[in-house]
Amino acid sequence: MMNEGTIMVAVWKAYGLNLVKEVEDKENNRLILFIDVPETSDKLNAHGEQMAGDVLARRFKEVLTEQGLRVQVRRRIIKGLHWTEEIGKSVMDKELTKQFPYQNIPGVNT
């Protein structure tokens, strides 16, 4: 069975978000997450905004906060990186195949 956390990581990677480092802040009882995000993207949110840069970083933090995690997110925008649907699909396929090499995942390792 697929691990929910692993699938979530694969989905965020498909948007171009890369978790670089996490630091536990014991004093404030939270995680500090350092992420890289693309400067621009073909992917759009419900408001028509590109899912890149600050928009992507903010959405990442919102989702984690909605799940009850106390986080601080520090982002670095990778200048010149334009995220496409093709790159996202390729990353998702590779991530899921790496995590679940013996499972039959339609469209990935069939």
* pLDDT, position 105: 54
Domain count, the chain: 1
Domain assignment present for residue 104? The answer is no
| pLDDT per position as a tens digit, 67-104 | 999 999 999 999 999 999 999 989 888 877 776 666 55
106, part of any domain: no
The range of the structural domain enclosing residue 66 comes to 4-99
Q: Is residue 78 part of a domain?
A: yes
pLDDT digits (tens, 9 = 90+) for 13-66: 999 999 999 999 999 999 999 999 999 999 999 999 999 999 999 999 999 999
Domain membership flag for residue 109: no
Counting Cα atoms < 13 Å in the Cβ hemisphere of 43 gives: 24
| 105 domain residue, yes or no | no
pLDDT at 2: 46
CA pseudo-torsion sign 67, 58, 17, 20:
negative
Does 29 reside within a domain?
yes
Give residue 36's pLDDT: 96
Would you say the pTM of this structure is higher than 0.75? yes
Question: Considering the domain boundaries, does residue 30 fall inside one?
Answer: yes
Residue 108, in any domain of the structure: no
